[in-house]
Structure 1
Amino acid sequence: MTSGRQDDSLSDIQQFFYGANVFVTGATGFLGKILLYKLFASCPGINAIYILIRNKKGKTMDARLEEIFNDPVFNKASPKIRYLIKGISGDCLKPGLGLSSADRRMLVDCVNIVFHMAATVRFDEKLRTALRINVSGAYEIIKLCRNMTNLRSVVHVSTAYTQCPLKNINEKFYPMPNGTEVKRLLLMTECIPDNLFEHVTPILLGKWPNTYTFTKAVAEDVVRTFGARLPVGVFRPGIVISTYQEPVGGWIDNFYGPTGAIAGAATGIIRTLRCDPHAVANMVPVDMCVNSLIASSWDIFERQRSAGSEQDALNIPVYNFCAALENQLTWGDFTSKTTKYGLMYPTMKAIWYLCYSNTPNRIVHGLSIIFLHYLPALMFDTICLCFGRKPKLMKTYKKIHRFMAVISYFSLREWNFQVHNVQNLWSRMTKTDKELFFFDMRQLDWDLFLQQYLLGIRQYLLHDPLETIPKALVRWNRLYWLHCGLKLTIICIILYLGWRLIL
């Protein structure tokens, strides 16, 4: 038994959570919703789950809390979940997390387990904003945890790409990016004017490709520096995409990362993707990620409890939750498999036939963008103008290309991620816990997963129910012949022009 109560009907991890009060930041996000569902569904006996929610776009904390329960991910959850999960008004952008004195006192006195997931995941976020949320927020959480009187475990959720300038990324801490200091960075955030801060941003980032990976690397140093005497660990997931098994296969609620590219390809908008087809695509299902996250919180407590010396207690574990070496997926496999399932399950939202390719070559990719994106967009927008409609496809492509430029850094490179801590954790879990909290990436069926992923994009992001597939296949057949007709026309024009030039 680890904590809570002795009960043979509960697994080790379930006993750890029994009677616990859990505090979660970032619970309104993609990862957070699955964590809330999983804690409720698989950890009976949790006393309460407190989630930090800020007022946003005119909506109060209570209104945003209700919105969480309206999400499809909670369709199968018992109504009792509404009594277990309690909203706490706060904001990671504010000093002291924006907590009231009463809420802070309650959290300090009651909370046992903390999951800090709140972050801005926008790669093009302004550095000042990213530092305030990702770094200052982590610092405020650590300060809060240091005052908690009944704390068992704290998990700081980072990303596998905090050290992306390196080729080999081990489960350990690394020096601060570019030799900077946390306190100096935070002081700059408060003191330097916006225009000057924008000017020094490229200098501060150095080899880091964007503000997200840079600030998450800085946040890890916050945990290392200020969380040394806490039962804390750092969890680094790869590229998190849809669910594999729980609560349903294929559920997803955002267009981040490769999901936006696949959704664009499925609708016939994106025709080319710049990536290295031989590089490993480090993607992980969100439910397996959450299962590993929950197990890591238990492991952190067990490590602290069994520490043989003060030095052992000070060692902060790092967990790289990434694709297993024995069961990897390349970007070429990813595009070919998603194309296969995209053709099997077309969407009624498609404006053209699914046909896209990937290439690492900048020139070939640039030419593809000109001929497969910009020229059709120019023709479409011209037709719209002729009929008195507002042109919008060219503007859409400009946004898409900015997004594609951001993800190309990750689709053109390959990293070697050490996953010893995650695999050792899996080997030490009981059979029951392995069934309840499955996260062994070596056993992931990529074909099944990507099939569900494509169907999930169709259903949850494009809002096209599965019942329309037969009708979409009929429409897809027409788009196919239009596609073939257009290709034939272009070939004939090229041959005609070539023949005229020869003569």
Structure 2
Amino acid sequence: MLELGISKDDQQILKDKVSIVMHSAATIDFNEPLKIAVNTNLRSIRELLNLAKDMKNLKSFVHISTAFANWFELDVKEEIYPTLYDPDDIIELANRLPDDTLDKMTPILLGKHINTYTFTKNLAENLIKREKNLPVIIIKPSMVGASFSEPHIGWIDSFAGVSRYIYFITLGLYRATVLPNKLNAIDFVPVDFTSNLTIAAPWKREIDKKSVSMVPNPYIYFSTTGSTNKFLWKDYFKLTSDLGRQFPPKNVFWYPKVRLHKTDIGYQIDVALTHLFPAYLMDLAAKLTGQKARAYKLQKQVKDGYKEGIFATKNTFIFQAKNFNNVLNSMSDADKKEFNFDPRTINWKQYMQDYYFGMRKFIVKEKDMKSPALMRRLTKLKYTNYFVKLSTGAAGLFLIWKSSGV
């Protein structure tokens, strides 16, 4: 929407009164159609920048981007990586071409980018970079998770991103993944850590203006955890599976356990034999008994969700933290406590439990975190799981024996 849909009178109030702009609006659907992603993640930034240029008292323009704006870089510097395109050209292209034509062109335009989200986020950073006269700060969080403490411990409002993994694992739906290296680390950050850094960053800029002759523009801060408090994927999968077994959710579907595969082929075979085929049989049985068939659809959702996140499990990203450490080290002990974003304060085992309980409390609206009835159901699923594994193994051996001609 041009000029952000703000009336001329209201725009003038903003120009006269606003001193700090914090922009965090975006579509976080990784595979949003390109036109929607461009208008939401890119065009809106251009409109806001145009408004900010006329703000008389502007001290900081803070934009929330993503640490994965250039996901193909593993050792990521505190800088804006170039794009192949002029952001204005992409905006014009997205709004001139018919939707079907643009959809066909999207894979070519994306290039190295895995989805429209990282593509438009990188373009937005380049759009901001060219505004040399604006006091710009870019906050780049990794995968954002439930809150550490504010507004409530474990608070979360959607199953986006890493939250989907946790919920599917504890339901027993996500039971296999590719992890080429067991030392690969996950990088995700509590949402309130990113919020607190977003508040502290403009303060740091003002401090630097008074004490440093040359203030960087833009300031870039990674809101990440891996550089100071590493959390391995293998531990993430184990902790999450353990939580699903200790505190089964209301709609637990299968016995929670994640098998780790070094290769894609091993994962694909596992999914076919232990996810999709049993789900097909369960749906067939459901239809024969007049029940709703949902197992195969759920497993397809899990498989599609896996495709979105596979780049993260296959790699360990190193995000530079010089600017991050500078703002943290400049704060008083009282400020560090009130505006906490220090990864070293996270106990991952406790945080994962708070995260899981938060999802069940704030999204699923469950009150009883450990139900005796659900524990009995989980025990049945455990033995059913053993039976299915034995049956699948026996069937596989039988087929090998038959094919050998013995």
TM over 0.5: yes
2:147 corresponds to 1:243: yes
Secondary structure of 1:339's partner? helix
For residues 304 and 146 of structure 1, do their structure 2 counterparts lie closer, same or farther at Cα, with a shift above 3 Å needed?
A: farther
Counterpart-to-counterpart distance in 1, 2:110 and 2:30 = 12
TM-score by length of 2: 0.93
- 1:203 aligns with 108
For residues 461 and 502 of structure 1, do their structure 2 counterparts lie closer, same or farther at Cα, with a shift above 3 Å needed?
A: farther
Q: Which amino acid aligns with 1:125?
A: E
Q: CA deviation at 1:297?
A: 2.3
CA contact (8 A) 2:62 2:139 kept: yes
For residues 257 and 419 of structure 1, do their structure 2 counterparts lie closer, same or farther at Cα, with a shift above 3 Å needed?
A: same
2:179 corresponds to 1:258: no
For residues 492 and 155 of structure 1, do their structure 2 counterparts lie closer, same or farther at Cα, with a shift above 3 Å needed?
A: same
Counterpart-to-counterpart distance in 2, 1:209 and 1:495 = 39
Secondary structure of 2:189's partner? strand
Q: Which amino acid aligns with 1:283?
A: F
Q: Counterparts of 1:116-135 in structure 2 under 5 Å?
A: 116-135=23-42
Out of 367, 374, 382, the residue aligned to residue 284 of structure 2 is 382
Secondary structure of 2:309's partner? helix
- 1:274 aligns with 178
2:41 corresponds to 1:139: no
- 1:230 aligns with 134
CA contact (8 A) 1:232 1:300 kept: no
TM-superposition CA deviations, 1:307-358 (whole Å, max 9, x none): 52xxx25621100111242420111111111112222211221022112223
2:4 corresponds to 1:114: no
2:78 corresponds to 1:171: yes
2:192 corresponds to 1:287: yes
Q: CA deviation at 1:417?
A: 0.8
TM-superposition CA deviations, 1:15-73 (whole Å, max 9, x none): xxxxxxxxxxxxxxxxxxxxxxxxxxxxxxxxxxxxxxxxxxxxxxxxxxxxxxxxxxx
Counterpart-to-counterpart distance in 1, 2:318 and 2:13 = 43
Secondary structure of 1:114's partner? strand
Counterpart-to-counterpart distance in 2, 1:200 and 1:488 = 47
- 2:248 aligns with 346
Q: Which amino acid aligns with 2:334?
A: T
Q: CA deviation at 1:391?
A: 2.5
Q: CA deviation at 1:409?
A: 1.7
Q: Counterparts of 1:92-491 in structure 2 under 5 Å?
A: 94-175=1-82, 177-178=83-84, 180-226=85-131, 228-276=132-180, 277-308=182-213, 312-313=214-215, 315-491=217-393
Secondary structure of 1:466's partner? coil
RMSD of equivalent CA atoms: 2.1
For residues 183 and 346 of structure 1, do their structure 2 counterparts lie closer, same or farther at Cα, with a shift above 3 Å needed?
A: same
For residues 246 and 275 of structure 1, do their structure 2 counterparts lie closer, same or farther at Cα, with a shift above 3 Å needed?
A: same
- 1:46 aligns with none
Secondary structure of 1:350's partner? coil
Q: CA deviation at 1:181?
A: 0.9
Secondary structure of 1:230's partner? coil
TM-score by length of 1: 0.76
Q: CA deviation at 1:499?
A: 7.6
Secondary structure of 1:208's partner? coil
Secondary structure of 1:358's partner? strand
Q: CA deviation at 1:130?
A: 0.9
Q: CA deviation at 1:96?
A: 0.5
Counterpart-to-counterpart distance in 2, 1:408 and 1:232 = 32
CA contact (8 A) 2:4 2:47 kept: yes
Counterpart-to-counterpart distance in 2, 1:397 and 1:99 = 44
Q: Which amino acid aligns with 1:193?
A: P
TM-superposition CA deviations, 1:71-124 (whole Å, max 9, x none): xxxxxxxxxxxxxxxxxxxxxxx0111112222122222222211001111111
Q: CA deviation at 1:463?
A: 2.8
Q: Which amino acid aligns with 2:168?
A: G
For residues 498 and 410 of structure 1, do their structure 2 counterparts lie closer, same or farther at Cα, with a shift above 3 Å needed?
A: closer
Q: CA deviation at 1:142?
A: 1.1
For residues 398 and 454 of structure 1, do their structure 2 counterparts lie closer, same or farther at Cα, with a shift above 3 Å needed?
A: same
CA contact (8 A) 1:272 1:365 kept: yes
Q: Which amino acid aligns with 2:52?
A: C
Q: CA deviation at 1:466?
A: 3.0
Counterpart-to-counterpart distance in 1, 2:153 and 2:109 = 41
Counterpart-to-counterpart distance in 2, 1:301 and 1:377 = 58
TM-superposition CA deviations, 1:366-422 (whole Å, max 9, x none): 111111111111111111221234433222322332221111122212222101101
Q: Counterparts of 1:81-96 in structure 2 under 5 Å?
A: 94-96=1-3
Counterpart-to-counterpart distance in 1, 2:74 and 2:370 = 45
CA contact (8 A) 2:245 2:256 kept: yes
For residues 145 and 497 of structure 1, do their structure 2 counterparts lie closer, same or farther at Cα, with a shift above 3 Å needed?
A: closer
Question: Which one has more relative contact order, counting CA pairs under 8 Å at least 6 apart?
Answer: 2
* Paired positions, count: 404
Q: CA deviation at 1:198?
A: 2.1
Q: Which amino acid aligns with 1:217?
A: N
CA contact (8 A) 1:231 1:304 kept: no
